[in-house]
Every structure is written in structure tokens, then in C-alpha cells.
């Protein structure tokens, strides 16, 4: 928060802006796959933001995600002892992994089923693409770097691991059986934020699509939702602000996705 004495010393022409848009001290807790995009938007935000990135893959075990994030939410002050104005939870509903979470300070959560909404810029854009492209596996810099995105490289690394553990006769059979879920997918879609090394990420996704027999597509990313998230522009249509002591609950009957109980 702004020190009142600092505001008194500020030139008159700046006082109105400082009063209307006071700096917020925020903590962002998000999956590591969002790291580059979150840092980019945090650098452009006027707020003071500490970043906490969680291990990728926690959404596969919702109870573990809830446990790990709950521990992070217990931190309400920065290392200097300053109280955060709010914690930003950079997760979507994520298989109900955030349901039941609460904190001693407000929590702000995007109204989203998963993190792809933050990369695409809105839940409406996510739904529009989903409705016209059934069976999508999403690729982004973070998912490629930290996730277990299906690809030739991932398959070969897993095969070597299985050969060492189970022998060559069993390894390919086990891996092919494990990869059977890919038959439900038709698209490998790269979300392009124009970050450094974008062409390398595109190439990775195109090669993955060819290896897996999927259609390749790419869509432009949209930083607007992430930017508003970190800037403190929390409209009710796109964000849920959970007051201190309230808990996050799902709300799947309409467009809200989540609510505070």
C-alpha cells in the first residue's frame, strides 16, 4: 500500500492518479507452466507481485493440488513482513482441485475450467474453440518445457525408462497400452504469445502432431485476461474475489464456474 507520507509529498498533478489506483501488494500462486506468461504480465503491472510456482501435474491428483496450494495460501505476508492485499490463484477449477480452499486474506481466481483460459484471454474464446475442435491437446512454451506433452521425444524417453525397468520385450507393449487415450484426440494446438523461441515451440508441436497423427493448429494467445488479473482489474464476469474466511466452491450450472461459500 502507498505510504500516506509519500502521497503527501507527491506533486499535486500525481495525487489524483495515486489515490484512484493505489498499488496493491499481491502474491500469485500458479502452475509452473504459466511461468513465462505470468512474468511478462507482472513486469508490465503497476502492482507489487511475488510469484510462487507449483509443480506441474498437480491437477492430475486434485487432492494433492488442494493440499499443496492450501499450504501456499497459509503465507499471507512477504519476506519483509508486509501483508498481502490478496492472493491471486492462477488456476482454473482444475478437476475441482481448488474447491474448498480458503485463506486469511482475499483470494482472487479467474472464472475458468483450467489454465488454458488465461492463455487464450477469455472463457468465451476457450469455449468457442473447444466447440469447433473436438479432442484438443494444447501446447504452449510452459507445457512443452515442464509438462508431459505427448511427442516423439516424450515417447522415446519413456520407452528407454520402461526398457530399463521392465525389459525391452515388455516396454513397448506397456507404453503403447498407456498411450491408448490419445485415440480420443484429433488436434495438437499451439498457443502463440510471440515469446522468444516461438518458432522452436511451433516446430515441436508440428512434429508432435505428425508423430501422433493429429491435426496441427496454432492460435494467437491473448494476454488481456492475465494482465487484468495481475493489474487488479477484477471484474465479476471474469474473476471471483473470495473474501477472507470464505471457501471456493464450484458453480457449473451457468457461466460462473466458481463461487464463494
Condensed to tens digits (0 to 9), the pLDDT of residues 171-229 reads 888 888 877 777 889 999 999 999 999 999 999 999 999 999 999 999 999 999 999 99
Question: What's the mean per-residue pLDDT of the chain?
Answer: 85
CA distance 6 to 20: 15
pLDDT above 60: residue 28: yes
Measured on CA atoms in the order 56, 200, 202, 229, is the torsion positive or negative? positive
Beta strands 257-260; 187-192: pairing state: unpaired
Q: Per residue in 144-169, pLDDT tens?
A: 998 778 888 878 888 888 889 888 88
Q: What integer pLDDT is reported at residue 95 of this predicted model? A: 62
Q: What is the pLDDT of residue 149?
A: 81
Where are the chain's structural domains? 4-17+24-119+223-260, 123-220
- Asked if 87 and 102 count as a contact pair (C-beta separation under 8 A), the reply is no
pLDDT digit string, tens, across residues 72-115? 999 999 999 999 999 999 988 766 778 888 889 999 999 988 88
Q: Is the dihedral of CA 55, 59, 60, 61 positive or negative?
A: positive
Give me the pLDDT at residue 4, please. 37
φ, ψ of residue 49 to 5 degrees: the values are -130, 125
Amino acid at each position: 500500500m502507498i505510504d500516506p507520507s509519500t502521497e503527501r509529498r507527491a506533486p499535486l498533478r500525481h495525487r489524483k492518479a495515486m489515490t484512484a489506483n493505489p498499488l496493491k501488494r499481491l502474491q500469485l500462486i500458479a502452475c509452473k507452466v504459466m511461468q513465462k506468461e505470468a512474468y511478462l504480465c507482472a513486469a508490465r503491472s503497476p502492482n507489487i507481485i511475488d510469484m510462487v510456482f507449483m509443480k506441474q501435474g498437480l491437477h492430475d491428483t486434485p487432492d494433492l493440488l488442494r493440499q499443496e496450494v492450501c499450504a501456499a495460501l497459509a503465507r499471507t505476508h512477504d519476506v519483509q513482513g508486509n501483508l498481502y492485499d490478496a492472493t491471486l490463484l492462477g488456476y482454473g477449477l482444475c478437476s475441482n482441485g481448488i474447491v474448498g480452499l480458503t485463506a486469511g486474506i482475499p483470494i482472487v481466481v479467474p472464472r475458468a475450467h483450467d489454465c488454458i483460459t488465461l492463455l487464450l484471454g477469455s472463457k468465451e474464446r476457450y469455449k468457442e474453440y473447444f466447440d469447433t475442435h473436438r479432442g484438443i491437446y494444447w501446447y504452449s512454451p510452459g507445457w512443452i518445457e515442464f509438462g508431459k506433452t505427448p511427442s516423439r521425444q516424450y515417447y522415446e524417453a519413456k520407452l528407454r525408462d520402461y526398457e530399463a525397468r521392465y525389459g525391452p520385450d515388455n516396454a513397448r507393449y506397456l507404453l503403447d497400452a498407456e498411450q491408448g487415450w490419445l485415440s480420443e484426440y484429433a488436434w495438437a494446438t499451439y498457443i502463440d504469445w510471440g515469446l522468444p523461441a516461438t518458432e522452436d515451440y511451433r516446430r515441436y508441436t508440428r512434429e508432435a502432431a505428425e508423430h501422433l497423427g493429429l491435426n496441427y493448429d496454432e492460435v494467437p494467445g491473448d494476454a488481456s485476461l492475465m494482465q487484468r488479473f495481475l493489474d487488479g482489474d477484477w471484474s465479476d464476469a471474469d474473476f471471483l474475489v473470495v473474501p477472507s474466511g470464505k471457501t471456493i466452491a464450484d458453480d457449473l450450472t451457468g457461466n460462473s464456474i466458481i463461487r464463494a461459500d
